[in-house]
Amino acid sequence: MRPTTSRTNVARAGAVGVRTLGAAVGLGRRTLLLLRVVAFWTAVSLPALYPLLLLGLLPAGVLTVIELLAVHTLTLVLGRGYGRTPTSG
């Protein structure tokens, strides 16, 4: 009697699973790259707000300044690897 699942079907299912996993990994890498790009350019542009805060052109309390510094620090950390070429070794 022949089994209900042949080796060919198992191989095809395995290949579909590998392709799906590869697509998920690729999506994860693209998402991480997008996060790094946005974080990097946000970190670059945030210092433009500091003079506006000092001149009083933006409403600012102590909490606003602390939040801005926290966001700036977070974006510096997240965008740190953007634009670097991976080194092998």
Residues 25-84: pLDDT tens digits?
Answer: 777 888 888 999 999 999 999 999 888 888 888 777 888 889 999 999 999 999 988 887
Q: Please name the amino acid found at residue 58.
A: L
Domain limits at 65? 7-78
Q: Is residue 43 part of a domain?
A: yes
Q: Is residue 15 part of a domain?
A: yes
Q: Is residue 56 part of a domain?
A: yes
Number of domains making up the chain: 1
Q: Is residue 51 part of a domain?
A: yes
CA distances from 21 to 1, 14, 15, 59, 74 (A): 34, 10, 10, 48, 30
* pLDDT the model gives residue 83: 80
Q: Is residue 63 part of a domain?
A: yes
Q: How far apart are CA 22 and CA 15, in angstroms?
A: 10
Q: Is residue 85 part of a domain?
A: no
Q: Is residue 68 part of a domain?
A: yes
Comparing 87 with 58, which gets the higher pLDDT? 58
